[in-house]
């Protein structure tokens, strides 16, 4: 007898995503504080040396950015580079979280708590690493793509459709 496949509802998928993003915020916050602090000090080292500014803690760094002398530094390409690097590091950590959990247990902690997992849409087996990577990048359209669940037979979000995956109940 063939096992009947059950698909999770929009609400349970949203709840699982909320759990994952909450956990990710707890993980990312201290890491990104350290990364951005050291990256800021590295990129604007010439300013700190020129003005012999103290840079021991985060509040002293924030005070330095309030100085009128810092304005030319904030408006040049160094600040854009700093912002892009912080964003890329943030995305890499998020990719490690999501893709790592998907590869090892076919679910994130939120999906695991909701008793769901990710499978290949055709074979119902574990998806390939390439599918997981595609799924991650198409997840950036989450707020639009999640509504596809309401209108597809297999309750696939846009990132599921684009990567050839499904989320099913265990």
| Across 32-41, 45-54, 70-79, 87-96, least confident range | 45-54
pLDDT at 57: 63
- Over the stretch 132-142, which tens digit does the pLDDT of each residue have? 999 999 999 88
Query: pLDDT at residue 37 above 90?
Result: no
Tens of pLDDT, residue by residue over 79-109, are 888 999 999 999 999 999 999 999 999 999 9
Residue 19 pLDDT > 70: yes
Residue 48 pLDDT: 74
Instruction: State the pLDDT at residue 2.
Output: 59
Q: Is pLDDT of 16 > 70?
A: yes
pLDDT of residue 145: 86
DSSP character at residue 141:
G
Mean pLDDT estimate for the chain:
88
pTM: 0.84
Q: So what's the pLDDT on residue 109? A: 95
Of 52, 105, 49, 45, nearest to 78 (Cα)? Answer: 45
Span 134-170, pLDDT tens digits: 999 999 988 888 888 888 889 999 999 999 999 999 8
Give the helix, strand, coil percentages of the chain, each rounded to 5.
70, 5, 25
Give the whole-angstrom CA distance, residue 98 versus residue 108.
6
Q: What is the DSSP string of 79-102?
A: HHHHHHHHHHHHHHHHHHHHHHHH
């Amino acid at each position: 007898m063939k096992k009947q496949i059950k698909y999770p509802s929009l609400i349970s998928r949203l709840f699982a995503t909320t759990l994952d993003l909450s956990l990710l915020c707890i993980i990312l916050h201290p890491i990104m504080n350290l990364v951005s602090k050291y990256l800021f000090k590295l990129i604007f080292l010439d300013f700190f040396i020129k003005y012999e500014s103290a840079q021991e803690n985060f509040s002293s760094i924030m005070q330095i950015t309030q100085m009128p002398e810092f304005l030319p530094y904030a408006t040049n390409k160094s600040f854009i580079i700093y912002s892009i690097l912080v964003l890329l590091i943030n995305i890499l950590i998020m990719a490690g979280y999501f893709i790592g959990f998907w590869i090892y247990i076919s679910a994130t902690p939120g999906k695991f708590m909701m008793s769901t997992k990710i499978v290949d849409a055709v074979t119902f087996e574990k998806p390939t690493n390439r599918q997981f990577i595609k799924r991650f990048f198409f997840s950036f359209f989450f707020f639009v793509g999640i509504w596809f669940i309401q209108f597809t037979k297999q309750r696939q979000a846009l990132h599921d459709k684009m990567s050839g995956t499904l989320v099913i109940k265990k």
